[in-house]
Amino acid sequence: MRAAQHTTYGRGMVRFDAELVFGEDYLPFYEPVLTDERNRAEADEIIATLGLDTGSRVLDAPCGHGRIANLLAGRGLVVTGLDASAQFLDRARADAERHRVEVSYVEGDLRALPADAEFDAVVCWFTSFGYFDDDDNRRVLTEFRRVLVPGGRLLIETMHHDGFVRSVMSAPAPATSAVRVGDNLMVDESTFDPVTGRAETERTVVRDGRVRRARFSVRLPTPPEFVTWLHAAGFEDVRFADRHGEQLTLESRRLVVVAS
């Protein structure tokens, strides 16, 4: 097992073993559930939620291995994908070439986006917000606002604070989930820290005869916190829904935030 990477962000310590979480073990366990059908449905959902038209300029950040960005480009959007993982970006570029779509893929940091006001929309999808401490999470929102043109819109899809807390409370501590792919196994043990507002997960991967352990931490702002943070970042209208476009409830497991 490689040594865990401890990263300090801002004034607080956030333990996020990014090299392990998003390294060689990620795609073998996630790709079986990220099917073509699901990816197409999510791309359609993003386009409908933001009201995007052909030629709309979109930043997908972070874009991971391009599963959404390439499909958005295939729908006629002008897409830039940004991620901190060179491995994911290489895969995204290869898939874009195979599907004959054009996406500008850039390696970079969410806290310092390499662009100015040039996008009609920013998409932050699949629990990709909240990796840093609160100062840097708010900086990410400010960066999202900075790269949007006037009237541009931000879309964040993540875990819903209240729904996650209720699911953790209803399960033995810690809440455990497991994914098995052949003889390989990935087990997540999750708790919630009510002081920091963070979901804390210990991940154990048994793959190809090796055992690797990692930890990751995700801030789950409540809707009122999102409103405060987004207003401070320069957004005006902030709206919430669950993944079905319905009104958010205490039981909603996923949260969709649209800020204009």
- Taking the CA atoms of 243, 248, 253 and 258 in sequence, report the sign of the dihedral they define: positive
- Provide the CA 153 distance to its chain's centre, in angstroms: 17
- Distance, in Å, from the CA atom of 106 to the CA atom of 213, rounded to the nearest integer, reads 29
**Does residue 125 sit in helix, strand or coil?**
coil
Percent of the chain clearing pLDDT 70 (strictly above): 95
Domain 20-159+220-259 is found in CATH 3.40.50.300: no
pLDDT digits (tens, 9 = 90+) for 82-128: 999 999 999 999 999 999 999 999 999 999 999 999 999 999 999 99
pLDDT digits (tens, 9 = 90+) for 130-184: 999 999 999 999 999 999 999 999 999 999 999 999 999 888 779 999 999 999 9
Q: Would you say residue 1 has pLDDT above 80?
A: no
Query: Given phi > 0 = left and psi -120 to 50 = alpha, else beta, which region is 158?
Result: beta
pTM equals 0.94
* Contact (Cβ atoms closer than 8 angstroms) between residue 55 and residue 33: no
The domain limits of the chain are 20-159+220-259
pLDDT digits (tens, 9 = 90+) for 55-82: 999 999 999 999 999 999 999 999 999 9
* Contact (Cβ atoms closer than 8 angstroms) between residue 64 and residue 95: no
